[in-house]
């Protein structure tokens, strides 16, 4: 997959295009992406995805770092490449860009720069200033500029429409299995190992404290998870804790993400790793004493080894 920044070096064969943020690159997105790839192949053209960086909500919202997303740009790039997309165009999103009308975007970008042959839209996709670019608006633009348009219907699972919003809500409410089902893969977090308080080591379960590489990365709900850990090309089993250590430090403490990696004694400080969320074992809990906490951690490890092949 070739990546194009802004409008530079855009030279496509009969491009079949879709646009969007593709947060999570979930099964709903994949339905749209497969349609783009299939259409492009049927006409000996190129599949082209156009996205924006940073996410428009980061630029336009006042929520700041409270905003959370399923994937950063690098993670989306990797998932899109695996999907078989030919080209990814990354356009910078600014306040000025947000004011461009849908038809101006079509004319200045899709027609003049991309030289679009066919546009495929998601079932609820709107773009342009204030999201006023609907399917009907785009049909009018397409008729004016001479390219084809089609729309993909929503993909559902057990009467639930697959969407990034639903997946984010389920991850933050402890519904990991349901979220992974809609994603079509196990949720993951790429991070760097940073200095911690070494409280786990004192209990015989040393942990690596993780800081997400993507600062807006959504962290699942507090609790204990059975995870797989990728360090370069090697995979390990482990259990991950998300919470404020209420037994050791009381409720309301600093939130931490830390993983105990089985069968690995190396000092990982400063290393990059990927956490793959396989199962949620339990929520965060406050125990009467450290002995009770230790016994629970032992049970958590047993459960993790039972669940991970």
Per-residue confidence (pLDDT) for residue 129, from 0 to 100: 59
In a domain, 167, yes or no: no
Per-residue confidence (pLDDT) for residue 103, from 0 to 100: 84
For the stretch 157-171, pLDDT in tens is 999 999 999 999 999
**85 secondary structure, DSSP code:** -
Q: How many CA atoms lie within 13 A of 215 on its CB side?
A: 6
DSSP reduced 3-state for 147: coil
Per-residue confidence at 147, pLDDT binned at 50, 70, 90? very high
Residues 152 and 206 in one domain: no
In a domain, 36, yes or no: yes
- Could you give the CA distance from residue 81 to residue 1 in angstroms, rounded to a whole number? 6
In a domain, 170, yes or no: no
Q: Is the pLDDT of residue 148 over 90?
A: yes
Q: Which domain holds residue 109?
A: 2-161
In a domain, 276, yes or no: yes
Count other C-beta atoms under 10 Å from residue 306's C-beta. Answer: 10
Residues 151 and 201 in one domain: no
More confident residue, 195 or 287: 287
Residue where a domain stops, chosen among 161, 196, 226: 161
Residues 149 and 196 in one domain: no
- Domain with residue 145: its CATH number is 3.40.50.620
Residues 142 and 204 in one domain: no
Q: Which of 159, 181, 213, 153 is nearest to 26 (CA)?
A: 181
Edge-to-edge strands, sheet with 118-121 = 2-5, 87-92, 47-53, 16-19, 118-121, 148-151
In a domain, 284, yes or no: yes
Strand-strand pairing, 223-231 and 272-282: antiparallel
Per-residue confidence at 254, pLDDT binned at 50, 70, 90? confident
Residue where a domain stops, chosen among 161, 195, 222: 161
In a domain, 169, yes or no: no
In a domain, 177, yes or no: no
Q: Is the pLDDT of residue 266 over 80?
A: no
Per-residue confidence at 273, pLDDT binned at 50, 70, 90? very high
Per-residue confidence at 137, pLDDT binned at 50, 70, 90? confident
Residues 9 and 157 in one domain: yes
How many folded domains does the chain comprise?
2
Q: Among the residues of the chain, which ranges form H helices?
A: 27-42, 56-60, 73-83, 95-98, 102-105, 135-145, 164-172, 176-183, 199-202, 246-249, 290-307
Percent of the chain exceeding pLDDT 90 equals 72
- Domain with residue 250: its CATH number is 2.40.30.30
Calculate mean pLDDT across residues 247-260: 81
Residue where a domain stops, chosen among 114, 144, 161: 161
Calculate mean pLDDT across residues 119-134: 74
CB 280, CB 174: distance < 8 Å: yes
- The chain-wide mean pLDDT, for the chain, equals 91
Report the Cα–Cα distance between both ends of the chain, in Å, rounded: 33
In a domain, 172, yes or no: no
Q: Which of 142, 115, 145 is nearest to 13 (CA)?
A: 115
- Could you give the CA distance from residue 12 to residue 1 in angstroms, rounded to a whole number? 13
Per-residue confidence (pLDDT) for residue 52, from 0 to 100: 94
For the stretch 169-219, pLDDT in tens is 999 999 999 999 999 999 999 999 998 766 555 566 889 999 999 999 999
Residues 20 and 135 in one domain: yes
């Amino acid at each position: 997959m070739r990546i194009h920044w802004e409008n530079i070096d855009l030279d496509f064969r009969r491009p079949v295009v879709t646009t969007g943020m593709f947060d999570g690159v979930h099964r709903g997105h994949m339905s749209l992406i497969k349609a783009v790839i299939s259409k492009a192949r049927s006409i000996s053209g190129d599949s082209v995805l156009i996205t924006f960086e940073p996410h428009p909500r980061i630029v336009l919202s006042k929520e700041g770092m409270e905003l959370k997303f399923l994937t950063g740009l690098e993670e989306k790039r990797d998932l899109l490449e695996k999907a078989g997309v030919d080209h990814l165009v990354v356009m910078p999103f600014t306040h000025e860009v947000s004011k461009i009308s849908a038809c101006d975007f079509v004319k200045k970008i899709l027609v003049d720069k991309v030289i679009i042959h066919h546009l495929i839209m998601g079932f609820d996709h709107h773009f342009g200033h204030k999201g006023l670019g609907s399917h009907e608006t785009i049909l009018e633009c397409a008729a004016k500029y001479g390219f084809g348009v089609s729309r993909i219907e929503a993909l559902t699972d057990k009467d639930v429409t697959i969407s990034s919003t639903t997946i984010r809500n389920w991850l933050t409410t402890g519904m990991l299995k349901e979220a992974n089902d809609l994603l079509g893969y196990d949720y993951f977090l790429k991070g760097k190992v940073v200095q911690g308080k070494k409280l786990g080591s004192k209990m015989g379960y040393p942990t690596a404290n993780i800081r997400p590489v993507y600062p807006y990365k959504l962290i699942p709900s507090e609790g204990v998870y059975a995870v797989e850990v990728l360090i370069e090309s090697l995979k390990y089993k482990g259990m991950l804790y998300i919470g404020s250590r209420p037994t050791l430090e009381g409720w309301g403490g600093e939130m931490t993400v830390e993983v105990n990696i089985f069968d690995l004694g190396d000092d990982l400080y400063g290393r990059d790793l990927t956490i793959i969320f396989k199962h949620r074992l339990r929520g965060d809990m406050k125990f009467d004493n450290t002995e009770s906490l230790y016994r629970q951690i032992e049970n958590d490890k047993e459960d993790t080894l039972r669940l991970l092949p």
